[in-house]
């Protein structure tokens, strides 16, 4: 770790551990995502005690730590609303498969994975995300303690969506009873209830791996503990049709009857649904997480995002897992989310650049119930900020900078990331982690585990 830290300016190292009196000077622009003051040019941001205190033009106020950030723009730290971080070890393992084939293949390897591999996969996943400007992740995993440890090491915020299932989806798959799953959820809630940067939601994995009773019990526990709910819905046509055959209604209709829908519920994918289903989501203010890269790679279909937006359904973005998406890049996800629907609908206004940027920032924060805390660069908000290096030809001319963030930016353009007032990424590197050591260890573990998997 010393070699990495020695290569970074002394003030930045100090800022990485300091949560007050930090001023970013010389910003070309601040994209605030605040409708009352959307872009501030030639700006500074002043941070104190983990909060944004002031934004203005010119030089900022006196501060214990001042950082010059010329040729950089600031955007709110981005939010990934649907993730499976432990899947990193399967990146590229099962390409050119549809969802159901892919689930069978990945389950075979998950049966023999060990704790060390899960931990390093999660660290790599979070490191990739934070280096790409993501500061908050909603991670659906059955190993909450591993996710909490990895997110703490990397430094981002994490909603741990505790994965619950009580019906085997595949042959020889082991699952717990409903009672065991609910008890697991209760223990996890208690364990993290006082942690500011890690909190818990309940995530019955989805039909057909979850019984109606577990869906209902999860919803009841969520109401009792004031928790959010998260599940997969309509990701495959096969499961959507199976639900209708078994229950005589759609997945959305089933969840409505079980009391699972509401403003604190987010549904991932939501591809194979009807217009009536979308109206139901709007009625209950239930949010949708759009995962276009993953859905396209697995040939799952395309979510009806324009129709959802017209009906008032809140839509955010999720990168899903590295096993299905490969690259965990929110800039790419925004670009695909916008251009995909323009092409499919032959409508250039179907999903605008502004819509896509909101899905990754302010709208995502609203979906998490954190609209007064993150998703904007505004006084009083948590200081979660991404700095983008715009000293590249593809950012010129600068006038429509919001468009460039969606259509031109890449995760490799991220220069710095601040979470809770702490500088964690600077000059593209993590200031507290020896990335080379982590990558070397990961490569060794992955190579040993995956020997013989690839042709």
Nearest-angstrom CA–CA distance, 302 and 271:
6
Question: To 5 degrees, how large is the angle CA 303–CA 306–CA 310?
Answer: 130
Residue 2: predicted pLDDT: 37
Nearest-angstrom CA–CA distance, 319 and 70:
30
Residues facing residue 391 across a β-bridge: none
What residue has token string 């019984």? 211
How far from each other are the two terminal CA atoms of the chain, in whole angstroms? 36
- Looking at beta carbons, which pairs linking 116-119 to residues 24 or more positions away fall under 8 Å? 116/445, 117/89, 117/445, 117/446, 117/449, 118/86, 118/143, 118/146, 119/146, 119/149, 119/150
> Where do the CATH 3.20.20.140 domains begin and end in the chain?
78-367
Nearest-angstrom CA–CA distance, 389 and 394:
11
Residues facing residue 156 across a β-bridge: none
Q: Which tokens belong to 150?
A: 């990895």
Question: To 5 degrees, how large is the angle CA 125–CA 368–CA 382?
Answer: 80
3-class DSSP assignment, residue 210: coil
Q: What is the CATH number of domain 2-74+376-435?
A: 2.30.40.10
Nearest-angstrom CA–CA distance, 377 and 302:
32
Residue 207: predicted pLDDT: 93
Decide the pairing of beta strands 385-389 and 65-68.
unpaired
Main-chain phi, psi angles of 95, to 5 degrees: -80, 165
Residue 125: predicted pLDDT: 94
* Torsion sign across C-alpha atoms 248, 249, 255, 258: negative
pLDDT per 10-residue tile (average), the chain, 455 residues: 41 55 96 91 95 94 90 98 88 76 73 82 95 98 90 95 88 82 93 86 95 97 97 94 94 98 98 98 98 93 98 98 86 98 96 98 98 97 98 94 96 97 96 93 85 65
Alpha helix (H) residue ranges in 173-257: 178-192, 212-225, 237-247, 251-257
> Where do the CATH 2.30.40.10 domains begin and end in the chain?
2-74+376-435
Please list, in sequence order, all residues whose beta carbon lies within 8 angstroms of the beta carbon of residue 414, skipping any fewer than 6 positions away: 131, 132, 133, 386, 387, 388, 389, 425, 428
Please list, in sequence order, all residues whose beta carbon lies within 8 angstroms of the beta carbon of residue 262, skipping any fewer than 6 positions away: 229, 284, 285, 286
What residue has token string 């490191």? 127
Q: How many CB atoms lie within 10 A of CB 393?
A: 6
Residue 336: predicted pLDDT: 97
Residues facing residue 72 across a β-bridge: 389
Q: Are 362 and 369 in contact (CB under 8 A)?
A: no
Q: Are 411 and 132 in contact (CB under 8 A)?
A: yes
> How is domain 78-367 classified at the architecture level of CATH?
Alpha-Beta Barrel (3.20)
Nearest-angstrom CA–CA distance, 355 and 315:
9
Decide the pairing of beta strands 385-389 and 315-317.
unpaired
Nearest-angstrom CA–CA distance, 344 and 9:
48
Phi-psi region of 369 (alpha: psi -120 to 50; beta: other; left: phi over 0): left
- Which pTM was predicted? 0.93
3-state secondary structure 126-140: HHHHHHCCEEEEEEE
């Amino acid at each position: 770790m010393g070699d990495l830290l020695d290569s970074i300016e002394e003030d930045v190292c100090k800022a990485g551990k300091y949560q007050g009196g930090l001023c970013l000077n010389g910003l070309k622009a601040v994209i605030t995502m605040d409708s009352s003051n959307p872009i501030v040019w030639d700006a500074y941001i002043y941070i104190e005690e983990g909060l944004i205190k002031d934004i203005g033009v010119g030089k900022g106020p006196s501060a214990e730590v001042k950082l010059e950030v010329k040729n950089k723009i600031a955007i709110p730290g981005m939010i990934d609303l649907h993730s499976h971080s432990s899947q990193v070890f399967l990146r590229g393992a099962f390409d050119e498969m549809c969802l159901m084939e892919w689930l069978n293949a990945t389950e075979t390897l998950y049966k023999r994975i060990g704790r060390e591999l899960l931990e390093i996969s999660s660290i790599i996943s979070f490191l990739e995300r934070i280096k790409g400007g993501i500061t908050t992740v909603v991670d659906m995993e059955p190993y909450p303690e591993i996710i909490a440890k990895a997110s703490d090491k990397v430094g981002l915020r994490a909603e741990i969506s505790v994965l619950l299932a009580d019906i085997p989806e595949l042959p020889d798959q082991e699952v717990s009873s409903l009672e065991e799953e609910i008890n697991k959820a209760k223990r996890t809630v208690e364990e993290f209830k006082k942690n500011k940067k890690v909190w818990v939601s309940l995530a019955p994995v989805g039909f057909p791996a979850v019984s109606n009773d577990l869906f209902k019990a999860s919803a009841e526990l969520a109401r009792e503990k004031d928790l959010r709910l998260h599940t997969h819905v309509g990701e495959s046509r096969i499961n959507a049709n199976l639900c209708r055959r078994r229950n005589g209604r759609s997945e959305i209709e089933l969840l409505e009857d079980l009391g699972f829908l509401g403003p604190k519920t987010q549904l991932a994918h939501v591809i194979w649904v009807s217009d009536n289903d979308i109206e139901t989501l709007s009625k209950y203010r239930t949010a949708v997480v759009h995962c276009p890269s993953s859905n396209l790679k697995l040939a799952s279909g395309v979510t009806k995002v324009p129709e959802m937006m017209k009906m008032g359904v809140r839509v955010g973005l999720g990168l899903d897992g590295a096993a299905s998406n490969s690259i965990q890049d929110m800039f790419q996800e925004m670009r695909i989310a916008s251009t995909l629907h323009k092409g499919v609908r032959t409508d250039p206004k179907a999903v605008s650049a502004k819509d896509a940027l909101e899905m990754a920032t302010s709208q995502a924060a609203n979906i998490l119930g954190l609209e007064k805390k993150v998703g904007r660069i505004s006084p009083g908000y948590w200081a979660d900020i991404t700095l983008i290096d715009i000293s590249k030809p593809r950012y010129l001319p600068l006038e429509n900078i919001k468009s460039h963030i969606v259509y031109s930016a890449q995760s490799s353009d991220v220069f710095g990331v601040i979470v809770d007032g702490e500088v964690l990424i600077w000059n593209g590197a993590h200031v507290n982690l020896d990335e080379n050591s982590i990558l070397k260890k990961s490569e060794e573990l992955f190579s040993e585990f995956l020997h013989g998997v690839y042709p």
